[in-house]
Amino acid sequence: MTDQSYNFAYLDEQTKRMIRRAILKGLAIPGYQVPFASREMPMPYGWGTGGVQVSAAVLTPEDTMKVIDQGADDTTNAVSIRKFFERTAGVDTTTATSEASVIQTRHRIPEEPLHEDQILVYQVPIPEPLRFLEPRETETRKMHALEEYGLMHVKLYEDISRHGHIATSYAYPVKVEGRYVMDPSPIPKFDNPKMEMPAIQLFGAGREQRIYALPPWTKVVSLDFDDHPFEASKADHCCALCGANDSYLDEVITDDAGGRMFICSDTDYCEGRRAAGHRGPLNAEAAE
Amino acid sequence: MAAVLEGGFKDAPRDASHAFRGLMTAMARPGTCVDVAGAVPPAPLSVAAGVVLLTLCDPDTPVYLAGAFDCDDVRTWLAFHTGAPISTAQTCAFALGSWDDLNPLEAYPVGTAQYPDRSATLIVERQSLVPSGVTLTGPGIERQAALNLPDPAALAANHRLFPLGLDFIFTAGSQVAALPRSTRIG
């Protein structure tokens, strides 16, 4: 039930128009960070204020929404954002990836491939990939304008000289359509190859007041070197619950004596596999 | 005068959300023709052009009206429903007109190297939108798409300015298609 005290999807219409114009510019210039007048939202910065504003601007009453936090549908952040839109937009919500038309995500791309009619909205903490290399916005603007991305390669090179390989494992920088270097938000680099997809991807950074976007099938290349090619890495285990070898895994500490297990970070994917009868090492013993 | 007050969105938040989904689909998938509804603007505006104006324009967006579209009916309708100020081609955020009236394209802001988003979006009224003709490739297009473009050479020149450049929304009847600057032409 929509709470009638609020406009549809919480934001007022002029704010939505401003965000919508920024989204269209973002889609027209893939990977470029469009400044927008981010509003205060009824949640703290860092909890997805950018993603929520983008979602509010794209939602229609007929949409079915899914919200994930690190792949999970049942964490505080995901539950509260889902409830927020149930209340202010009256949209249906789901945890099933295939049933959702708008998916707001914090730091994961669902394991199940997305299709054409879906929209993936990322919550972004720091949209500027060069920020930790150059703190001044005036400078990073110029660097993007001049395509001056040497510093990013130096960072990756320093990784190699220090660790023997590129140790950056999340928020791994990508180059979009051969032009802009973009921060894919802190998704694990395991997810980077999935970014060339049939769905529309929108990125919202509330505190930093930036929106950027990737139209479907946009060419997204993870930065690397000829002799150190990009590798989409994950923990070298299978999921303890569903036995999946192809999904991104979370490490769970089980005791204080070094015990640990690995489980799918995407809870919907893991539940779907278990419902289909797949069992991992932990469940296999329990089932017998 | 009564006609001026008519023709806006009946239920602004919901109508605008549907209209924007259509517009976003068009901009994200260049060459795709999308049906939109909700506006009944005065002639010579098409339904689609009316929907685009209602969805995107407000007091923050100067609008340039070209040729036959710069008439009292359109001006007052736009003023009442959006509050958008009328401006010149050089300072506009949105421009509206037929292709011939909107030319030359050099008149419009294409953004700056540091802020390529500070560029105009041209709403071009067409007789019809047909997904055939000039071949389009680039972001948003899996292999290739096609659209009947008014002047492929001028639009290809616009693409060469990337990341600067103009973005185009083509309207005909109740249909919308878009051509962002990122699309390669031919």
Q: With contacts defined as CB-CB under 8 Å, which chain B residues touch A4?
A: none
* CA dist., res. A243 & res. A237, Å (int): 9
Which positions of chain B have pLDDT values less than 70?
Answer: 1-2
Any domain includes B149? yes
B69-106 pLDDT, tens digit per residue, is 999 999 999 999 999 999 999 999 999 999 999 999 99
Active-site annotation holds for A270:
yes
Judging contacts by C-beta atoms under 8 Å, the chain A residues touching residue B163 are 29, 32, 179-180
Instruction: Return the pLDDT at B186.
Output: 84
CATH number for the domain spanning B103: value is 3.40.50.11310
Q: pLDDT below 50 — which residues of chain A?
A: 288
Tokens of A53: 């504003």
pLDDT of residue B148: 96
Rounded to the nearest integer, the mean pLDDT of chain B is 95
Match 């997204």 to its residue by tokens: A220
Catalytic residue of the set A239, A243, A272, A280:
A239
**pLDDT value of residue A187:** 96
Q: Do A219 and B117 touch (CB under 8 A)?
A: no
> How close A254 comes to chain B (CA, Å)?
45
Tell me if A30 and B58 make a contact (CB, 8 A cut-off).
Answer: no
ipTM: 0.97
Cβ of B17 within 8 Å of Cβ of A61? The answer is yes
Of A215, A211, A21, nearest to B169 (Cα)? A21
> Position of tokens 């070094």?
A258
pLDDT, position B29: 97
Instruction: Bin B56: left if φ > 0, else alpha if -120 < ψ < 50, else beta.
Output: alpha
Domain extent at residue B157: 12-185
Task: Residue B21: list chain A partners with CB under 8 A.
Answer: 58, 60
Residue B7 lies in a domain: no
Look up residue A175 and give its amino acid.
K
Number of domains within chain B: 1
Closest to B56 measured CA to CA, from B32, B33, B22: B22
Distance CA A154, CA A130 (A): 12
CB contact under 8 A, A146 and B138: no
- Model confidence, pTM: 0.96
Asked whether A171 and A186 are in contact (CB, 8 A), the reply is: yes
Which residues from B are below 8 Å from A when comparing CB atoms? 12-14, 16-18, 20-21, 23-25, 27-29, 55-58, 60-61, 93, 113-117, 119, 121, 138-142, 162-163, 167, 180-182
Residue B181 lies in a domain: yes
Residues on chain B touching A219 (C-beta within 8 angstroms): 139
User: Could B139 and A214 be called an inter-chain contact, meaning their C-beta atoms sit closer than 8 Å?
Assistant: yes
